[in-house]
Amino acid sequence: MQEKLWDTETAQRYDTPGTGMFAPAVLGPTVDRLARLAGEGAALEFAVGTGRVAVPLAERGVSVTGIELSRPMVRQLRTKADETKIPVVFGDMATTTAPGTYSLVYLVYNTISNLLTQAEQVACFRNAARHLEPGGRFVVELWVPELRSLPPGRTATVWQSDPGYIGMDTYDVLDQQVVSHHFHFDDETTQARLFRSPHRYIWPAELDLMAQLAGFERETRHADWEGTPFTADARSHVSVYRLPAAS
Per-position b or e across 181-196, b if 16+ CB within 10 A of its CB: eebeeeeeeeeeeeee
Choose from 11-20, 166-175, 187-196 the range with maximum mean pLDDT.
166-175
Kindly state the greatest CA–CA separation across the chain: 64
* Domain regions of the chain by residue span: 2-145+202-242, 147-198
With bands split at pLDDT 50, 70 and 90, how would you rate the model's confidence at 191? Answer: confident
**pLDDT at position 197, please?**
85
What's the order of all strands across the beta sheet hosting 236-242?
A: 88-90, 64-68, 43-46, 102-107, 132-143, 236-242, 217-222
**Per-residue model confidence (pLDDT) at position 15:** 66
Measure the CA angle with vertex 66, ends 61 and 72; round to 5°.
Answer: 120
Lowest mean pLDDT among 55-59, 83-87, 164-168, 186-190: 186-190
Residue 11, pLDDT score: 64
pTM (predicted TM-score): 0.89
Taking residues 151-162, report their average pLDDT: 83
Q: What is the pLDDT of residue 124?
A: 98
Task: Determine what percent of the chain is predicted with pLDDT higher than 70.
Answer: 93
Which CATH homologous superfamily contains domain 2-145+202-242? Vaccinia Virus protein VP39 (3.40.50.150)
Q: What is the pLDDT of residue 22?
A: 76
The mean-pLDDT minimum among 12-16, 65-69, 189-193 falls in 12-16
Instruction: Give mean pLDDT, residues 142-148.
Output: 89
